[in-house]
């Protein structure tokens, strides 16, 4: 583990795995998780890459100031991570909020991005009052007040039944997330609209969607793929929101090969 400091003074937790002589891939987490969400991808990704993982501000072991964040702030944090460890360009893979950060990088820091995997994500995700209600609930009652509702959207019921230990591990990540960091990121998603920016993305893009994802339904992924020239779309069956966990084998077969351009 290492720590980098952003341009506004926030310390972010970063982990590097693999050979630094290989190309780099940056992994960006979903809302309410830490960098451990990617444990199932590290073995295969390190065959091709040096893997860079980081906790977004207010998540895991990263600092999280009070107040609303923006998607541009979260995107600049990712740039700060790359700068802080001396990486000029990387493939980028993000799930949910991490995919939103990936879109921002592709549109606003294209010189930093070689290829993009945008998974279980959306360019705009409303309605705003839903996010505001969630923010109010967490600020008043803490993370436990939303845990059951959120986890039910992250995984299908069959997966929850057959993999309870995995579900409990991810639930623990959510419960340990700083309320300030979580609500700050909720505000960033509430206010985000990257629909026009999608046309600016020039890197090769793979969009992954879950056929049973209630948080970012397949039509959200379809809209991204339609807006980005040449983008590929893969809809995973029997999959809700965290595709890299629920459909780990399929994800590991499809996404690393795309990122490595195999």
Condensed to tens digits (0 to 9), the pLDDT of residues 119-160 reads 999 999 989 999 999 999 999 999 999 999 999 999 999 999
Beta strands in 134-225 (DSSP E): 205-210
Tell me the average pLDDT of the chain: 97
Mutual angle of helices 179-191 and 128-141, in 10-degree steps: 170
Global pTM value? 0.97
Domains of the chain (ranges; CATH) run 2-259 (3.40.50.1820)
pLDDT score for 1? 86
Look at the block and give the residue holding tokens 């799930």. 95
Mean pLDDT value across residues 226-248: 98
Q: How many CB atoms lie within 10 A of CB 12?
A: 24
For 172, the 3-state DSSP assignment is helix
Query: What's the farthest any 2 CA atoms get from each other in the chain?
Result: 48
* Residue percentage of the chain with pLDDT more than 90: 99
Asked if residue 253 has pLDDT above 90, the reply is yes
Q: Residue 63 has what pLDDT?
A: 97
Percentage of residues in the chain having pLDDT higher than 70: 100
Whether the per-residue pLDDT at 21 is higher than 90: the answer is yes
The torsion region of residue 113 among left (phi > 0), alpha (psi -120 to 50) and beta comes to beta
Across the range 195-213, mean pLDDT stands at 98
Kindly indicate the confidence band of residue 262, based on its pLDDT and cuts at 50, 70 and 90: confident
């Amino acid at each position: 583990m290492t720590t980098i400091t952003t341009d506004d003074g926030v310390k972010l937790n970063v982990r590097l795995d693999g050979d630094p002589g290989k190309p780099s891939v940056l992994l960006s987490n979903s809302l309410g998780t830490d960098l451990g969400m990617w444990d199932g991808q590290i073995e295969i990704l390190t065959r091709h890459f040096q893997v860079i993982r980081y906790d977004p501000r207010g998540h895991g072991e990263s600092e999280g100031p009070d107040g609303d964040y923006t998607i541009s702030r979260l995107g600049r944090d990712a740039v700060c991570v790359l700068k802080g460890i001396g990486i000029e360009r990387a493939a980028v893979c993000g799930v949910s909020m991490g995919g939103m950060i990936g879109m921002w990088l592709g549109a606003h820091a294209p010189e930093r991005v070689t290829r993009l995997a945008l998974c279980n994500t959306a360019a705009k995700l409303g309605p705003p009052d839903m996010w505001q209600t969630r923010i109010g609930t967490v600020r008043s009652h803490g993370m436990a007040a939303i845990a059951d509702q959120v986890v039910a959207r992250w995984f299908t019921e069959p997966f929850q039944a057959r993999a309870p230990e995995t579900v409990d591990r991810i639930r623990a990540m959510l419960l340990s997330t700083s309320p300030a960091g979580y609500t700050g990121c909720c505000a960033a998603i509430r206010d985000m609209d990257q629909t026009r920016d999608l046309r600016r993305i020039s890197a090769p893009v793979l969009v992954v969607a879950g056929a049973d994802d209630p948080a970012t339904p397949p039509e959200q992924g379809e809209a991204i793929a339609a807006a980005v020239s040449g983008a590929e779309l893969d809809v995973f069956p029997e999959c809700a929101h965290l595709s890299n966990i629920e459909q780990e084998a399929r994800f590991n077969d499809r996404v690393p090969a795309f990122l490595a351009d195999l």
